[in-house]
Amino acid sequence: MTPTPDTAERSGRGASARARRRDSRAAGPAGPAYITRAIPTYDVAPEESLVMIEDTAARILEEVGIEFRGGDAPAIEHWRAAGAEVSGERIRFPRGLVAEVLKTAPREFTQHARNPARSVVIGGRNTVMAPSYGSPFVMDADRGRRYGTIEDFRNFVKLAYSSPWLHHSGGTVCEPTDVPVNKRHLDMVLAHLTLSDRAFLGSVTAEERVVDSVEMARIVFGAAFAEQNCVVMGNFNVNSPLVWDATMTTGIRAYARANQGTVIVPFILGGAMGPVTMAGAIAQAHAETLVGCALTQLERPGAPTIYGNFLSSMSLRSGSPTFGTPEPAIGSMIVGQLARRAGLPLRCAGNFSNSKLPDAQAMGESVMSMLSAIHCGANFLLHSAGFLDGLLSMSYEKFILDADLCGALHSYMAGVVVNEDTLAMDAFQEVEPGGHFLGCDHTMRHYQTAFWDSQTADNEPWETWSENGSEDAMTRANRRWKQVLAEYEAPPMDEAIREALEDFVARRKSEMPDAWY
């Protein structure tokens, strides 16, 4: 990771001495920029199974192919030039072609944050946790479920910034449904860039919105710096099965053209958009993802791109998607193995749940899916906080509980340190059989850092808990998010940059009529 200039220097605005003073004055929330795992991945599939899945993906690409719909002619032309067989919208990929194209994709890259201390390295042994993404509704224990607004959006950006255990500001943390559809991206990107100093995701819903997102990042990071470095990413969904829509591919190419990052994610609900058996769904996802990632390399070799994973299952009773269920949880381990074999950073989804409340179901499902993502080696973990209601709702209380779990996972991923000191032979020699270790030297040296200290769990004796009002976790989380928002302080920002951003947003809004669909 090369050192990066501070924001003011990068943008060519302001005085670097002032910027440095400012940075040291307001360090913001503590916590590492990202996690570098000390534990291995959990590789459940043998080589033979992996080869069979890769072979099926190759057959899908070769025999069935993928349709590029909606008229993205340059994308289709890229594939024709690369050697694919094009028949109208249908593209078939000779065996080995996609892997060849992907050779220029980086295994690891840095997404820069406007606070250099919060830049994230994506790939390798690193894990970056970002809030949930895309819910039209928000909910909290006081007001229940309602459509998200720009105020909710800003609140979740503030909550993510304030948590020491999230590393990234995310993207559409909720839909700000009170802002016209065609202008939302401007207010969302502005919020990420001004209310947080973490890395963030830009718009993906139309090519011009991608261009706006990149342009706003250029204002903050400086055009020259942004040309050479990843300063914004977009999260793109495949239209499974086996369709890439022009809205997505033009956006993917726009980010890649600007040397910015893309996350390529199939959403396969087994039995609907893909086979009902995990092996087939994984093969399909592998094919779809690799083609999306490869498209970035055809647009601009070397552009950063991430292999995304979003396996899901289905309720046979209601037909609803289900989350935090066992089949996708264990299936994701294989997806992780495939991503590493493909040489691409891996995105997984974290704290999934279909519950409508931050209750026992919610956190049970969340831990199941979150640990799956950790074990399979996720490098970028979208949906790490707030996800409820099958992604339809972003929950304030769940956000707090999830962020606390993210904290616990920092300790989990640090693994067990085994050395002379931690083996504690000195303590065994000091403490006799039947004695206690509370006051021994070894305990004194280590107790402050030995155990993760949850901010939301109740670990008091029952009597104390009862005297304190018998609160459940949701009630404690409700109090906590209000406290965090009340204590929030915006990270410092060069006024000239802020004004330039606001001017850009105002100008772009003035160029468009409001569109509500």
- Of 17-56, binders to a copy of itself (CB under 8 A) are 39-40, 42-45, 49, 52-53, 56
Task: Choose, by CB under 8 A, the member of 15, 415, 496, 507 that binds a copy of itself.
Answer: 415
* Distant-in-sequence, close-in-space partners of 287: CB < 8 Å, separation ≥ 6: 57, 58, 60, 61, 66, 242
Task: Choose, by CB under 8 A, the member of 22, 114, 185, 442 that binds a copy of itself.
Answer: 442
Per-residue three-class SS string for 4-72:
CCCHHHHHCCCCHHHHHHHHHHCCCCCCCCCEECCCCCCCCCCHHHHHHHHHHHHHHHHHHCEEEECCC
Is 238 among the residues that bind a copy of itself (CB under 8 A)? no
Is 385 among the residues that bind a copy of itself (CB under 8 A)? no
Shortest approach of a copy of itself to residue 3 CB, angstroms?
32
Residues in 180-199 that interact with a copy of itself by CB under 8 A: none
Piece in contact with a copy of itself (CB under 8 A), picked from 198-206, 214-222, 339-347, 403-411: 403-411
- Extract the tokens encoding 117: 């201390």
> Hey, is 476 helix, strand or coil?
helix
* Distant-in-sequence, close-in-space partners of 31: CB < 8 Å, separation ≥ 6: 163, 164, 165, 167, 410
Is 75 among the residues that bind a copy of itself (CB under 8 A)? no
Is 146 among the residues that bind a copy of itself (CB under 8 A)? no
Output the CA torsion 232→288→247→377 (10° steps): -20
Task: Choose, by CB under 8 A, the member of 2, 88, 451, 469 that binds a copy of itself.
Answer: 451
> Which neighbouring-strand residues pair with 224?
none
Shortest approach of a copy of itself to residue 305 CB, angstroms?
22
Question: Strands, DSSP E only, in 115-156?
Answer: 120-123, 126-129, 137-140, 144-147
d(CA 229, CA 231): 6
Is 258 among the residues that bind a copy of itself (CB under 8 A)? no
Question: What does the radius of gyration of the chain's CA atoms come to, in whole angstroms?
Answer: 23
Task: Kindly state the DSSP code that residue 302 receives in the 8-state scheme.
Answer: T
Is 69 among the residues that bind a copy of itself (CB under 8 A)? yes
- The type of residue at 68 is F
Task: Choose, by CB under 8 A, the member of 334, 338, 348, 349 that binds a copy of itself.
Answer: 334
Is 88 among the residues that bind a copy of itself (CB under 8 A)? no
Piece in contact with a copy of itself (CB under 8 A), picked from 18-26, 93-101, 117-125, 462-470: 462-470
Instruction: Decide whether 129 or 497 has the Cβ nearer to a copy of itself.
Output: 129
Is 389 among the residues that bind a copy of itself (CB under 8 A)? yes
Is 71 among the residues that bind a copy of itself (CB under 8 A)? no
